[in-house]
Structure formats: structure tokens, C-alpha cells
Homo-oligomer: A and B are copies of this chain.
Amino acid sequence: MINVGIVGGTGYTGVELLRLLCKHPQAKVSVITSRAEAGIPVSDLYPNLRGHVDLCFSEPDVEALGKCDVVFFATPHGVAQNLMPALMATGTRVIDLSADFRIRDAELWAHWYDQAHGCPELISEAVYGLPENNRAAIKSARLVACPGCYPTAAQLGLLPLLENELVDPTGLIISAASGASGAGRQAKVGMLLTENSGSFKAYGVSGHRHLPEIEQALHDAQPAAAVPAAVTFVPHLLPMVRGIHVTSYARALNPDTLPDLQRVFEERYVDEPFVDVLPEGQVPETRSVKGSNMCRISVCQPQGRDTIVILSVIDNLTKGASGQAIQNMNIMFGFEESAGLDVVALLP
């Protein structure tokens, strides 16, 4: 049984970590911090945890966190990078759910996040935590940077095509939609039920912070990586709580010699516990992964034309954040990869 610390436990990724970890057979949360709620029982904020979690929030404290075997950061960007040097000096391993260590180029990070990076010296040590692509490196990592929610769903949908050099990496279209929990638990007029229920819109069209992460990852995925991936990424806001749906459009490089795409996808993910390639002709619904760590994927080639369509769904709080973070923890500590994550999606 390992000891787990959580920094920033009052947001939705924090409560999702608790929901899953409180039933994990080999991990126990012993510290959960929140400056604003210090002293308050966790279950006062999240009544679903009454009877399951007895902890109170505490002030962030490097010494207490350093005694944990692993610390999760469930904080907005900018927080983890400032605590990281002191925390890693304690020898604890860290899984960062925020964006702080996802981008390898500190200047690119600074450009998109509009602030200098507070800890550029540790960026190179950070391992990108997409198990389906990086399992070996995660196993021995001291610091794992968990992928963003959109990048997770987008990559799992596009990796088989890019790894096999089947599509033009310079004209990728990623049309994505997320439930409102992706925006976190902040008091903003724009995220009120009254402002979003029964409505749908795009946002961040001129540039969303997940774009450079997606392009970096898709570039890496190509064998030769000669051509930088160029992505047009448009996220949309769904009038619902959980779920990401990504519809990707990619142009086949050699339409006439394209292999059986269904088989390409099935073979790519045959051993993956959390990627489910649907039978031909079925499409994934976000509700089929609600509360679970699964990603479900379909691929098709409408009218046999050159444009390939890939549909991928995840729960943004689970495979898109806290579930994937625990999957990374399981890999790092040699646990069964699905320990604590063998959850059936809640349907209906």
C-alpha cells in the first residue's frame, strides 16, 4: 500500500482522484491540500464521498507531501512548476495533471500560457504520460506530465494513422467537443447552467492551449518525423457535464493502397486495457465511457473518398485526467495497470 498526496484537491480532477483512489487496492490518499479549504472535511465539499473519504483538506506543505510515495498535482497551470524543485528534492515521485510539463519547449510554453516557465530545468526530466505511447518511460519516471484531455482523445484517434504514415500530417482537422467539467470548478458567468444549458458553441477558435501539445505529440508519432504536424483544432462546449468527443479528419496520402483501417486500429490497440476499437459501423457515444477510464474509437472512410474520419471519446475527468494519472501511477509502481480503474461506465 503506497501513500498518496494530492495538491489542489478542491477541483473536479481532485474529487475524481479521490473517487477512484478511495477504492484502489494498493494506494491510500494520506494528504490532500487546499489553501482555501484547509481544515474542512473533503466530504463537506463533495457529498458523494461521505462514508468513503475521511480526510480533511490541509495547507500545502512540502514536508508532509514529501513523505508520500507519490504526489498528484490537480492544480491550474503555474502551480506545480513552482513547488516542483523542493518537492522532487524530497525524493517523492510526481504525477502532474496540469499543463506545466507537457510542452518540451519552454519558450513555446511561455508563448501559449502567457508567462515565463517557473522551472524550465525540470522540463527535460518530465515524461509525457500517455501510456499507450510511452509505457516504458513512464515506468521509471520521477515526474510524469499527464496529457491534456483533448490531446488524449485526439492522439489515441490519430496515432495508428501517423505511426504508419497513412495520412498527410500537415492538414489534420480536429473538431472536438467537451462537457463543461473541462472548464473546472470556477465561479464564472460563462459557465453557469443558465448560460450553457440547451446551447452549443465553439471557443478558443483562434488558438487553444492544447494545440501545441497535440502538434508536438503528433509530430513525435511519425516514424521519420520529417514533416511537422499541422493541426486545425476547434474545441466546442457541450451542454453536459462529462465527456469529450473528438472527430478527426485526415487525408490519405495514398488512397489507392490504403490498408484495411479497421484492422490497423484493432492491431494497434489489441493489448491496451483502456482503448476499445468499436466494431465496424458502430460509433462511440460519450456516455459509453462516463466515469470510466476507457477510450472508445471508430474509424471510417465515408464514400470511399480520400478523407478518413476518426471518432474517439473519453471521459475528460477520467481517461482525460485523473484516471489516466492513476494508470500512470500503476505503471510507475508496478501495479496491475487497471488497478482501481476497472469501472463500468454509468449508463444510462
Contact = CB atoms under 8 A, between A and B. Distances in A.
A200 B48 contact: no
Interface stretch (A55-63, A203-211, A216-224): A203-211
B177 A346 contact: no
B290 A346 contact: yes
A249 B236 contact: no
A240 B239 contact: yes
A186 B190 CA distance: 10
Nearest to A183: B194
Interface stretch (A80-88, A91-99, A291-299): A291-299
Contacts of A199: 240, 243, 285-287, 290
A71 to B, nearest CB: 22
A234 interface: yes
A50 B285 CA distance: 13
Interface stretch (A256-264, A305-313, A321-329): A305-313
A26 interface: no
Interface in A175-196: 175, 177, 179-181, 183, 185-189, 191-196
Contact of A247 (B175, B191, B194): B175
A52 B342 CA distance: 9
Given A344-B48, A344-B52, A249 B173 contact: yes
Interface stretch (A15-23, A114-122, A145-153): A15-23
A78 interface: no
Contacts of A281: 206
B192 A189 contact: no
Contacts of A276: 50-51
Counting every copy of the chain, the complex holds 4
A192 B171 CA distance: 37
Contact of A181 (B23, B50, B194): B194
Contacts of A233: 302
Contact of A200 (B175, B230, B243, B309): B243
A239 B239 contact: yes
Given A191-B193, A192-B193, A198-B198, A23 B283 contact: no
Given A23-B344, A238-B200, A285 B192 contact: no
A112 to B, nearest CB: 11
Q: Which of A19, A206, A233 has the most chain B CB atoms inside 10 A of its CB?
A: A206
10 contacts: A47-B347, A177-B177, A180-B193, A185-B348, A191-B193, A192-B193, A200-B243, A201-B286, A207-B303, A232-B249
Q: Which 4 A-B pairs have the closest CB atoms?
A: A199-B287, A48-B345, A175-B175, A47-B288
